[in-house]
Amino acid sequence: MKRLWFRKKDILTIPSLMLSVFLAQTAIAEEKQHPVNCATAEGDLRAIATERKHAEEEQAKSVIAITPAGALLGLVTGTEKKRLTMLSGDYIEKLNQRSDEIKSTCGIQ
pLDDT at 86 over 70: no
* 3 within domain boundaries: no
**Single-letter residue type at 66:** I
Query: Which tens digits make up the pLDDT trace of 16-65?
Result: 666 666 666 655 555 467 888 999 999 999 999 998 888 888 777 665 55
* Residue 20 forms part of a structural domain: yes
The answer to whether residue 51 is domain-embedded is: yes
Residue 24 lies in a domain: yes
| 5: in domain | no
Single-letter residue type at 55: A
Domains of the chain: total: 1
Does residue 94 surpass a pLDDT of 60?
Answer: yes
22 inside domain:
yes
- Which range marks the domain in which residue 81 is found? 10-31+38-106
In a domain, 15, yes or no: yes
Residue 82 domain-assigned?
Answer: yes
CA distances from 93 to 55, 59, 76, 98, 100 (A): 10, 12, 28, 9, 11
Mean pLDDT, the chain, whole residue set: 72
Confidence (pLDDT) at 105: 92
- Would you say 62 and 86 are in contact if contact means Cβ atoms under 8 Å apart? yes
Could you tell me which residues come within 8 angstroms of residue 99 by beta carbon, excluding any fewer than 6 positions away?
45, 48, 49, 52
Question: Residue 66, Cα to own-chain centre: how many angstroms?
Answer: 17
Which of 50, 52, 82 minimizes the C-alpha distance to 64?
82
